[in-house]
Amino acid sequence: MLEELQKLKKLQKCDAQIYQREEELDTLPEQNESLEKQIREMENKITELRNGVAIQEEERKKREEILSRGEDKLKGITGKQSAIRNKDEYNALLREIDNIKRFNKEIEEEISEVGREIDLKSQELNLVEQDNIKKVVECKHRLAENVKRMKTLESDIEKMYDERDKVAGAIRPAILRKYERIFESSKTGKAIAEVDNYICRGCNMTLPPQLYNNVLKSERIETCPNCQCILLPAENRKNDKKGPVIRETEEHPADDEE
């Protein structure tokens, strides 16, 4: 039986490696989604601000065109002064000049107001760009690393399963089934624990002496009452020299005496 237990130990090593990688692999898609979301949000923020600036620039351009037409109109009307024939016409012309000037002034004020808004929005855009562009690069880098890591893990896991199947194939089916049942219900990916000086190394619980002796004898599969792991004697037992352990328990009536 000890030989079978040693095989289980080897199998446990394979399974632990697979388990660890599968756990890591499980966390990566969620991390990637979160990174992609961050990237999208940062890029959207930049686009939104750029659009904001572009709209304001468009507004400024429109007003500049209106102003330019207003200035042309003013020039044209000032040139008409020589054609004035009487005071009424003169007064009417002055009023029109005044109106155009007032209109042009309003447009000029609007242009500077839009200009101030463009400055503010451009400043915000610059700040966000400086900050976000760096972060987007970082996120994209992490995303690429994760994708690479996932591929490595997937290929490692595949190879490890091949190795695991070879190891498992050499174990007696009934023992393998028992091991697999324990492994599947385990929350830590452990199904085998070594025992040393009455202590289960899987959960650090002190085992009853009879159980401990049975484990040392390795005549059948014993499991830890606490962590359910299949128990096998530790290879480097500190306690081996202290023979009394076995004698002590042999005083109890054992149900499977040799």
Secondary structure string (H, E, C) spanning 151-207: HHHHHHHHHHHHHHHHHHHCCCHHHHHHHHHHHHHCCCCCCEEEEECCEECCCCCEC
Q: With left for phi above 0 and alpha for psi between -120 and 50, is residue 65 left, alpha or beta?
A: alpha
Spatial distance between the Cα atoms of 240 and 131, rounded to a whole number of angstroms:
64
Q: How far is the CB of 139 from Zn ion (least distance, A)?
A: 43
Q: How far is the CB of 154 from Zn ion (least distance, A)?
A: 32
Sign of CA dihedral 166, 172, 174, 180: negative
Q: What residues make contact with Zn ion under the rule CB under 5 A?
A: 200, 202-203, 224, 226-227
The label of the residue with tokens 């005071």 reads: 87
Q: Based on CB atoms, which residue is closest to Zn ion, 211 or 224?
A: 224
Check if the beta carbon of residue 49 is closer than 8 Å to that of residue 121: yes
Lookup: tokens for 17? 């490696």
Strand, coil or helix: what is 223? Answer: strand
Q: Based on CB atoms, which residue is closest to Zn ion, 46 or 205?
A: 205
Q: How far is the CB of 142 from Zn ion (least distance, A)?
A: 39
Q: Based on CB atoms, which residue is closest to Zn ion, 70 or 202?
A: 202
Spatial distance between the Cα atoms of 223 and 231, rounded to a whole number of angstroms:
5
Q: Based on CB atoms, which residue is closest to Zn ion, 107 or 200?
A: 200
Q: How far is the CB of 134 from Zn ion (least distance, A)?
A: 50
Could you tell me how many residues make up the chain? 258
Q: How far is the CB of 8 from Zn ion (least distance, A)?
A: 15
Q: Based on CB atoms, which residue is closest to Zn ion, 175 or 224?
A: 224
Q: How far is the CB of 250 from Zn ion (least distance, A)?
A: 23
Q: How far is the CB of 219 from Zn ion (least distance, A)?
A: 20
Q: Based on CB atoms, which residue is closest to Zn ion, 100 or 224?
A: 224
- Give the burial class of 114: count Cβ atoms within 10 A of its Cβ; 0-12 exposed, 13-18 middle, 19 or more buried: buried
Q: Based on CB atoms, which residue is closest to Zn ion, 19 or 212?
A: 212
In sequence order, the β-bridge partners of residue 199 are 196, 206
